[in-house]
């Protein structure tokens, strides 16, 4: 709805211009409204203190209709230790009234850079603290071989 208001001293004159809701005839509707607005403004041109307000229309382009491309989301690391297979546990928080709320008990996973002797480089792994102790005791190659983890991909 476009509104034209003209102020003549204390008297205010308002004229409303209706528009169609059909989006397929957007350009025809805009031209019709603009011609009506020019007609009304020419009729009111002799009056002083005229204020004409119209809503701003944006032309819809085919590019605006399609959503912008977003980069693929990074996969979230699972909270599972690759060497020991430890994963989160479901538990109940029990209140005084014996109301049970399910909570998760997560594994204590740490990012650790460990020297891999066979590859002559550091390998960054996300390990449980139990796995770190086992690697310190038995060595990285032995623990990785037992767990079936390929260190070349890390």
Distance CA 151, CA 154 (A): 5
Q: Is the distance from CB of 138 to CB of 73 less than 8 angstroms?
A: no
Quote the pLDDT of residue 139: 95
Whose tokens are 């260190």? That residue is 151
The pLDDT, as a whole number, for residue 72 is 74
How far from each other are the two terminal CA atoms of the chain, in whole angstroms?
63
CB-count exposure of residue 147 (10 Å: 0-12, 13-18, 19+): middle
Which residue would you say has higher pLDDT here, 34 or 126? 126
Residue 55 reports pLDDT greater than 80: no
Residue 14 exposure: Cα atoms within 13 Å on the Cβ side: 7
pLDDT of residue 76: 76
The tens digit of pLDDT for each residue in 12-34 reads 444 444 444 444 455 555 566 66
Range in 34-43, 92-101, 129-138 with the lowest mean pLDDT: 34-43
Lowest mean pLDDT among 21-30, 43-52, 83-92, 112-121: 21-30
């Amino acid at each position: 709805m476009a509104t034209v208001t003209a102020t003549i001293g204390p008297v205010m004159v308002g004229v409303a211009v209706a528009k169609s809701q059909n989006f397929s005839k957007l350009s025809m509707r805009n031209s019709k409204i603009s011609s009506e607005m020019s007609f009304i403004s020419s009729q009111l041109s002799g009056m002083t203190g005229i204020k004409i307000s119209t809503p701003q229309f944006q032309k819809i382009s085919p590019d605006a209709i399609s959503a912008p491309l977003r980069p693929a989301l990074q996969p979230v690391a699972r909270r599972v230790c690759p060497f020991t297979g430890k994963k989160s546990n479901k538990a109940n928080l029990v209140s005084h009234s014996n109301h049970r709320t399910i909570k998760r008990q997560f594994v204590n996973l740490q990012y650790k850079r460990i020297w891999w002797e066979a590859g002559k480089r550091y390998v960054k792994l996300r390990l449980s603290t139990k796995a770190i102790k086992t690697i310190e005791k038995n060595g990285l190659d032995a623990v990785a071989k037992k767990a079936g983890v390929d260190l070349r991909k890390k």
